[in-house]
Structure 1
Amino acid sequence: MASTPKPFAPFEWMIAWRYLRARRAEGGVSVMTWISLIGITLAVFALIATLAVRAGFRAEFVGTILGANAHVTIYNAGEVTQTGQIDRNIANYSDMAARIGAVAGVTRVAPLVRGQVMASLRQDNSGLDVYGIAASDLASLPKVVNPETGRGDIARFDQGIAIGSGVARALNAGIGDRIKLISPNGVRTAFGTSPRINAYEVVYIFNSGSFDIDGSRAYLPLADAQEFFNKEGVATELEVMVQAPEDIATLVPAIVTAAGDRALPWTWQERAGGFMRAISMQDNALFILLAILVLIATMNIISGLIMLVKNKGRDIGVLRTMGLTEGQVLRIFFIVGASIGTMGTLFGLLLGVLFSVNIEGIYQLVDLFMGQARTSLEQQGFIFPTAKLELGDVVAAVALSLGLSFIITIFPARKAARMNPVEALRYE
């Protein structure tokens, strides 16, 4: 008794391959099938490229937050003074910083004095968020102290003030200019508190890549900030950096325990939680929209295979009379459609990877045709992110395209398998 060939036997692949490479005049692959191949290629390319750019934007956004801001900020819950005011200053900030620095996973603890002031230079004014910080702690902020993007001499920080590039543009300030800082909480006198005005030399201008930070932030030496804001001997907060910012939630309990009972933590995830959720929602929406594009491209396989089945009706009838079962005919045409989907997916994957790897060159090419528009847009705070290929995104795009291609192929393949051989050969 003859054994039944196993599914996807070599002769099934051979027949499917003959149909794939047959010319149109021979009743082979139709123009619609070529259109579906190109459509799947472009759809997968668009999906992978978009996901890579979005991943790059997300990494750039998180990097900007983590590079110039604390991973977790420690505040004091405060105590009520004899005058009825709440004192939130941290008096023993050195000891507290030492205890927090001893926690496993913490890489840096910096005492800060923060305050808001009005900055003035000649006829220009701008509001500033001033950070009083030690020079050694400032030097550990990679987005701020960057020789490639910064101007001036950060080694002279103790002799002046460091301002963001946006602040410098607003004040028309350059290295060596002396800007005035005006604080309403100044010198206490018998007649009340009078505004305090001090002038500081601009010794460094930084560009962190964040429009909000560069346009509103300035750094003063810690001792100068304590004097200017009447915070002698105290800090207003502690800036804590950790080795794994993504796992900050697991470190917060240990940090709070080391800081003391009255410590109030505020993590970077809480600070930027709304932005991160918005980015995640946008990513999901883009994936769904581009998945629909992939679906439309794969549905063209149906049209191409239906035309192929119609042209190959006589061949199907001959194959059935030779003893091929419905399952074998179904698998032959399934291989044809699945091969088109697989080739389109692979071509799209290749284009997507090439686009992501060479996105900087593409930016430069577009900038060349647009007349150097990228530089002016970056100065206004717009981000041109690098593309970041993530394995999960690539696998999701490939799996989506292949899955849809295989499912769509089943319907015209079943039609070919159920064709009556007598009807197919009646008029031949």
Structure 2
Amino acid sequence: MNVSLLIARRYFSSKKKRNIISIISNISMIGVAVGTMALIIVLSVFNGLEDLVRTLYGKSDPDLLITAVEGKSFPVNNILLNQLRTAPGVSLVTEVIEDNALLQYHDRQMVVKMKGVTGNYFAQTNVDSSIVEGDHRLRRGGEAYALIGAGVQHELSIALDNRFSPLRLLYPRNTGKRMLSMNPENAFSEQSILAGGVFLIEQQIDNSYVFVPLDFAQELLQYGDRRTALEVRVAEGYPVAATQVDIQRLIGPKFRVLNSDEQHVSLLKAIKVEKMFVFITFAFILLIASLNIFFSLSMLVIDKRKDIAILMAMGATNRTVRNVFLLEGAIVALVGAVVGLVLGMTICWLQQTFGLVSMGMATSVVDSYPVKMQSSDIILTSIAIIVITISVSIRPALNASRLDVRENL
């Protein structure tokens, strides 16, 4: 057995250590355990929030979204659509026209995101599974219907299928003139449509989106053959990443092909940045908690000066003595880290299984805080503990290896 490790283990488990050294050592282990546990829990919560965002937006997001690199819209013809529909891995292509419009209902009004889609849209996404009232179909009996968010319905107090008070959607006319008309009636194009259903997906979508048939949006916005986006559903068995590359190569550099994460890159990046700063913050807290290891090792060196002198007199090298105290610090940190990891993973498992901590909001889409443990977080936490342990242990270990043998025998 390694001599340094054997002596370090003896020092760690010795009952003859001075009481104050033992207390500081125990405080060190508790500090490392609490810091490790907190780090695992917080990182798991951020992982859970990231997955929750993907799940929420996944109900309305396509597998791939095609937009123009320049401008808000682009012309679409049958040649482009046929190229996409026959491309390997493409199951479905949906044409989309999306823009802001003014929604009026009775004496109330608000600006909404109007999204005109072709009839195959609900085979593309799972919005129809989020219907809380009415019907998701945008065409019934040859008549156009709007599918509105729950927040929009609440804001305007909209009643479904109210033929006496349909929704009025207004959009500025593209007259090509620099001067606006003095007559407001000529400044906006207007169309009416009945509200046929209400969806509940995610607060930002619920509070702003209205789905309408593509031809309705096409006429109101005067878009003609132009579209703001094309949404692509990838066939089962085909990897999304490979299909994304193939479509990008097919349609050229004038278009941008985005996967699900890239469609919400700002939000997901914000979560990742917050997670990184939280990791750094808790790593500093862990460093402060580990300073007790420095103090306990420094006091242990003072207490064991005679033992160190005897070892050196018996032929122990400076490296051997230095390793004794480095390993002593490592054992203290290891015990605390293992306890912290076990406690942290246990608490995360209990939260996943039983939902112990509630979100505390009646309108939340989930009852409890989402958590998800990842092996990468455990590895990062372990690396942080190793670096911190070496940092706080190296100075006492060097001091021990530099003791004068003759002065301490």
TM-score grouping bracket, smaller chain normalisation: 0.7 to 0.9
1:158 to 117, 129, 139: 139
Partner of 1:60: 52
Paired position in structure 2 for 1:180:
167
Q: Whole-Å Cα distance in 2 between the matches of residues 251 and 61 of structure 1?
A: 27
Q: Within 5 Å, which residues of 2 pair with 1:381-392? A: 386-392=370-376
Deviations 1:134-190, CA, capped at 9 Å, x for gaps: 343224313x233xx43135454423221112212212235545641222468x9xx
Shift of residue 252, structure 1, vs aligned partner: 5.1
Question: What CA distance in whole angstroms lies between the structure 2 residues aligned with 1:73 and 1:165?
Answer: 27
Query: CA separation of 1:31/1:288 partners in 2, compared to 1, >3 Å: closer, same or farther?
Result: same
304-313 or 103-112, which moves further after superposition?
103-112
| Alpha carbons of structure 1 residues 175 and 350: separation in structure 2 relative to 1, 3 Å | farther
| Preserved CA contact (<8 Å) 2:248 2:257 | no
Render the CA deviation track for 1:60-100: whole Å, top value 9, x for unaligned.
Answer: 3345455424532245989xxxxxxx99553x3x5533311
1:355-398 deviation line (CA, Å, top 9, x unaligned): 3334357864355xxxxx3224x38xx99762233333321221
Q: Which residue of 1 aligns with 2:298?
A: 306
Task: Indicate the residue corresponding to 1:375 in structure 2.
Answer: 362
Q: CA deviation at 1:414?
A: 2.6
SS at 1:324 equivalent: coil
2:128, 2:136 within 8 Å by CA — same for their partners in 1? no
- Greater CA drift, 310-319 or 265-274: 265-274
Taking the aligned partners of 1:173 and 1:50, their CA distance within structure 2 comes to: 41
1:130 aligned to which of 114, 132, 155: 114
CA contact (8 A) 2:148 2:195 kept: no
Q: 2:110 & 2:239 partners in 1: Cα distance?
A: 36
Name the CA distance, whole Å, in 1 between partners of 2:96 and 2:367: 29
CA–CA distance in structure 2, aligned partners of residues 286 and 76 of structure 1: 35
Instruction: Report the equivalent of 2:193.
Output: 199
Letter in 2 for 1:329: V
Q: Name structure 2 gaps, 5 residues minimum.
A: 176-184
> Which amino acid is the alignment partner of residue 208 of structure 1?
I
Structure 1's 339 and 174: CA in aligned 2 closer, same or farther, altered over 3 A? Answer: farther
**Matches of 2:69 and 2:4, distance apart in 1:** 75
Q: State the distance in 2 between where 1:28 and 1:185 align.
A: 78
Match of 1:73 in 2: 66
Residue number in structure 1 paired with 2:245: 250
Say yes or no: does 1:171 pair with 2:165.
no
Q: How far does residue 336 in structure 1 lie from its aligned partner after superposition?
A: 1.4
Measured in 1, the distance between the counterparts of 2:239 and 2:220 equals 35
The number of aligned residues is 389
1:35 counterpart = 2:22: no
Tell me if 1:20 matches 2:12: yes
In structure 2, the residue matched to 1:370 is none
Question: Does 1:267 find its partner at 2:250?
Answer: no
How far apart in 2 are the matches of 1:97 and 1:24? 82
CA distance, structure 1, for counterparts of residue 57 and residue 281 of structure 2: 29
- Residue aligning to 2:402: 418
Match of 1:81 in 2: none
Q: Equivalent pairs: percent with the same residue?
A: 21
Larger mean Cα displacement after TM superposition, 303-312 or 356-365? 356-365
Equivalent residues of 1:20, 1:29 under 8 A apart: no
Q: Distance in 1 between matches of 2:392 and 2:188?
A: 77
- CA deviation after TM superposition for structure 1 residue 132, in Å: 1.9
Q: Is the 8 A contact 2:356 2:368 kept in 1?
A: no
Which region of structure 1 is more displaced relative to structure 2, 270-279 or 283-292?
A: 270-279
Shift in Å, 1:23: 3.1
Q: Is residue 2:103 matched to residue 1:103?
A: no
Change (3 A) 1:315 1:414: same
SS in 1 for 2:128: coil
Q: Report the CA distance between 1:301 and its aligned residue.
A: 0.9
- C-alpha distance in structure 1 between counterparts of 2:278 and 2:60, whole Å: 29
Q: Counterpart of 1:208? A: 201
Aligned to 1:145: 128
Shift in alpha-carbon separation, 1:116–1:334, aligned structure 2, 3 A: closer
User: Unaligned stretches of 5+ in structure 1?
Assistant: 1-8, 79-85, 368-372
Distance in 2 (CA, whole Å) between partners of 1:76 and 1:17 is: 64
Q: Which moved more, 1:54-63 or 1:215-224?
A: 54-63
In structure 1, C-alpha distance between the alignment counterparts of 2:288 and 2:73, rounded to whole Å: 63
Amino acid aligned to 1:419: L
- Taking a change above 3 Å as real, the CA distance of residues 336 and 236 of structure 1, as seen in their structure-2 partners, is closer
- Give secondary structure in 2 for the equivalent of 1:145: helix
C-alpha deviation, 1:400, in angstroms: 1.5
Deviation at 1:225, TM superposition (A): 3.8
Contact 2:171/2:188, CA 8 A, preserved across alignment: yes
| SS of residue paired to 1:200 | strand
The answer to whether the Cα contact below 8 Å between 2:351 and 2:357 also exists between their aligned partners in 1 is no
1:239 deviation in Å?
Answer: 2.0
Deviation sequence 1:395-424 (CA, Å, 0-9, x none):
122111112213432321232233234433
Q: Indicate the RMSD between aligned Cα atoms, in angstroms.
A: 3.8
What is the SS of the residue equivalent to 2:394?
A: helix
Give TM-score scaled by structure 2 length.
0.79
